[in-house]
Amino acid sequence: MTATSTAARRTRLRIVIADTGALVTGTALAILFLLPLAWAGYSSLRGPDATGEGAGFGTENYRRLFSYGEGLLVYATNSILVSLLTVVGTVLISVLAGYAIARFRFPGRNLLFLGTLAIMMVPYPTILIPLYVLLSRAGLQNSLIGLSLVLIMFQLPFALFMMRNAFEAVPREFDEAALVDGAGIPRTLWSVLLPAVTPGVITVALFAFLNSWNEFIAPLMLVTDGSRYTLPVALAAMRSGNFGSIDFGALQSGVVVSAVPCMLLFVLLQRHYVRGFASGALKG
């Protein structure tokens, strides 16, 4: 056996060991993160509360969940509306602002970018009271639109950072070629640059949806009408119970219902999400 073949065998062995280690580690982490959700799903379907009579499996917990308070559909609709408004507003503002900061030179450009990023340094619960007063004066207190505006503001630093770097990763020759062909700035952005930064846009949208869907503190402080509660606030109210009692079965069902949309979106968009990071969205 030659030295070259021995070295090749050793290289292949190291690759196999590394791949096996990565597979085992990834599988262990997946089980670790999925186990609580699997247990919640199991608990929501099994037991006397789930069957209404004895041991076994049933959907009684979900029936009580759907009839809790104003109804699960009301709370889910509120969460969907807030999440969609947050996603649309965040993507629209971050795309336009990211394009402007990445492609144009104007006074205060860097200051504007750094000022937006500075929002990340402020613990947002500390400014919810001033925001509550501001929304009251604007007539948006106890409003899902007002809540969406607040969530958009908290999403902008990360979204702007992502989109600026995504646009900077696209060669300027694309812009110049489109402008030479007679396309204006809006047409260049929409037809040329936006398809090139689609993974970054999807990453921003996914983060905005997940954060707004699971947000608890802002809706708790800014929304006071029970018919406008989002799903996390409604589940927290169920958690408090009446006279100290807690319906754990219905609560576990609520955990499953709130987690399913997030998991489905991530599974469907994970390829674009990974490309958003790998293609330069976090470069620079």
Q: What does the pLDDT look like over 37-68, one tens digit per residue?
A: 888 888 878 766 666 666 667 778 888 888 88
pLDDT tens for 181-191 read 777 778 888 88
Is 123 in the same domain as 198? Answer: yes
Is 141 in the same domain as 212? Answer: yes
Is 111 in the same domain as 219? Answer: yes
The CATH number given to whatever domain includes residue 196 is 1.10.3720.10
Q: Which residues contact 250 (CB under 8 A, 6 or more apart)?
A: 49, 61, 62, 64, 65, 68, 238
Q: Flag whether pLDDT at 113 surpasses 50.
A: yes
* Residues comprising the chain, all counted: 284
Question: Is residue 32 one of the residues assigned to a domain?
Answer: yes
**Cα(156)–Cα(120) distance, rounded to whole angstroms?**
9
Whether pTM exceeds 0.85 = no
Is 120 in the same domain as 185? Answer: yes
Question: Is residue 50 one of the residues assigned to a domain?
Answer: no
The residue with tokens 């958003």 is: 276
Is 209 in the same domain as 252? Answer: yes
Is 142 in the same domain as 12? Answer: no
Cα angle 264, 270, 276; round to 5: 140
Q: Which carries the bigger pLDDT value, residue 273 or residue 46?
A: 46
Q: Which residues contact 20 (CB under 8 A, 6 or more apart)?
A: none
Is 150 in the same domain as 18? Answer: no
**Cα(49)–Cα(63) distance, rounded to whole angstroms?**
11
94-107 burial string, b = 16+ CB within 10 Å, else e? bbebbbbbbbeeee
Is 35 in the same domain as 76? Answer: no
Question: Is residue 63 one of the residues assigned to a domain?
Answer: no
**Mean pLDDT within 99-112:** 83
Residue 243 DSSP symbol = T
**Mean pLDDT within 79-104:** 92
**Cα(48)–Cα(55) distance, rounded to whole angstroms?**
6
The parent domain of residue 244 ranges over 70-281
Is 25 in the same domain as 153? Answer: no
Is 13 in the same domain as 150? Answer: no
The residue with tokens 């950072």 is: 161
Question: Is residue 53 one of the residues assigned to a domain?
Answer: no
Is 78 in the same domain as 31? Answer: no
Structural domain count of the chain: 2
**Cα(187)–Cα(177) distance, rounded to whole angstroms?**
12
What phi and psi, each to the nearest 5 degrees, are found at residue 139?
A: 75, 20
**Cα(284)–Cα(170) distance, rounded to whole angstroms?**
13
Is 9 in the same domain as 145? Answer: no
**Mean pLDDT within 191-205:** 87
